[in-house]
Amino acid sequence: MSSHREAPEISKDPVADSTDVYAFVSPDKPDTVTLIANYIPLQEPAGGPNFYEFGDDVLYSIHIDNNGDGYADISYEFRFSTQVLDENTFLYNTGPIEAIDSPYFNRRQFYDLTVVSGHSQHTIGTNLACPPCNIGPLSTPNYSFVAGQAIHKLHNGITVFAGQRAEGFYVDLGSIFDLGDLRPFEALHNTFGLPVKLSAAPGVNDTNDLNVHSIAIQVPISAVTRKGHPSIGVWTTASRQSATVWDADNGQNVSSGPWRQVSRLGNPLVNEVINPLGKKDLWNTLPPSDDKRFAEYVAHPGLAALLPTLYPGVFPNLAALVKAGTARADLEAILLTGIPTGIVPGFTNYTGPVLADMLRLNTSIPPTAKPNILGLIGGDAAGFPNGRRVFDDVVTVEIRAIAGATYALVDKTYTPDAAAGEVTDGLTPSDVSSPYLDVFPYLGVPYSGYYTPDATPPAPPAF
């Protein structure tokens, strides 16, 4: 969550598990868009001796649809390779890593970047270095400096980074997956006759102090849009080759055959809480153009039907909407087509009638100097669901939308329940310990394995 371990099969393959996608007009370079795809969820910082890394056997891609048909018109493909300087030591590093090309950086990764458009493909970056993981004050004494050396400026105004970053997505996983319990509102939650007394409490950010591996690319807006059509659809995929065999002589897996998609992510939480359990693995293998097969789950989300039961008496209008079998045209617009002109005054990110789960971004809307973490429902058209910035509170936005807060936009006769505009898991960006950056790659410095939350350093020994 937003797409961490969201389907049975991909939960067994974290290296290929896409966790979050971000797409926004770059606040410090507003003639560009920044696209970020995160992988390898819920990384404990103290991950040695084999620290986290991208998969050499995985094809990572960020896709852009700029004509609204649910197929990729432009794809940025990343292939990684791992190099070990000294195979006769167990150490990830053999001394302080003070530069990205340090001889002490023993196990390192590089990648090639290829742009695919139609039937053509062009490699625009080769042997681009990744930074190390953030280990501790002896191994990575000036981590930000070394990570900065992994920001590569390519031709045609493209900037790229791939490596470990702090998890920027905040969510109360522990409470939400305890039958939809939202701590600030849990005094209203159904206890099902159990001897449990619940009372309102602050949210707990269960992804805080964890890391992810991030692929970030910043490209000119003109390179990803069609003239006169500023809205684009963005998603990420991970693919593996169709056959893998164990090479006993060399002690490693060998992959071959065509690439097969195993993971996909566009809008946050769609495969997490919208698609049913029996469809999640299938959804991960298909392109957005096939999403009409799953549209019924957006039009009639299971969570909307559950909320009146989980919170008795709190959502009577939502309960009536569900009982009437009303299709949620508001959610279809937000998640599957983009919002057409006339729904939200002065705003649209509509890409066409094709039902496709993509993170839609109207690139003509500039960044705001005073962003609202609730994005569009908070009066900030530069935020989710117009793309997604790293700090946007997508959990609150989507819970409120599912609870009916946005249905009145498409049906003026509907009155949302008062709670629909208030529900939240109680978290904000202040619950993320590593601050977001104002510049590329925007996600914070990854947490170090040496520094543990709330740790009190012991007194030095007396000799």
SS3 category, 444: coil
| Predicted local distance difference test score (pLDDT) of residue 48 | 93
| Domain regions of the chain by residue span | 10-431
| Predicted local distance difference test score (pLDDT) of residue 1 | 47
CA count, 13 A, side-chain hemisphere, 425 = 26
| 402: its two tokens | 């599912």
| Predicted local distance difference test score (pLDDT) of residue 457 | 56
Question: Which pLDDT tens digit goes with each residue over 422-441?
Answer: 999 999 999 999 999 999 99
| Predicted local distance difference test score (pLDDT) of residue 298 | 98
Instruction: Spell 165-191 as b/e; 16+ CB within 10 A means b.
Output: bbbbbbbbbebbeeebbbbbbbebbbe
SS3 category, 415: coil
- Considering only CA atoms, which of 411, 432, 291 is closest in space to residue 354? 291
pTM above 0.85, yes or no: yes
Mean pLDDT score across all residues of the chain? 95
SS3 category, 271: helix
Q: Write down the residue that tokens 């059509």 correspond to.
A: 229
How far is residue 82's CA from residue 10's CA, in Å, rounded to a whole number? 23
Specify the DSSP element, H or E, that contains 121: strand 120-129
How far is residue 387's CA from residue 395's CA, in Å, rounded to a whole number? 14
| Predicted local distance difference test score (pLDDT) of residue 463 | 56
How far apart, in Å, are the Cα atoms of 13 and each of 46, 58, 344? Answer: 20, 11, 40
Regions of the chain where pLDDT drops below 50: 1
Spell out the alpha helix ranges (H) of 250-405. Answer: 280-285, 295-299, 302-310, 316-323, 329-332, 394-402
Cα first-last separation, the chain: 49
Q: What is the 3-state secondary structure (H, E, C) of 136-184?
A: CCCCCCCHHHHHHCCCEECHHHCEEEEEEEECCCCCCHHHHCCCCCCHH
Question: Which pLDDT tens digit goes with each residue over 41-75?
Answer: 999 999 999 999 999 999 999 999 999 999 999 99
| Predicted local distance difference test score (pLDDT) of residue 256 | 80
Question: Which pLDDT tens digit goes with each residue over 123-135?
Answer: 999 999 999 999 9
| Predicted local distance difference test score (pLDDT) of residue 456 | 54
The amino acid occupying position 15 is: V
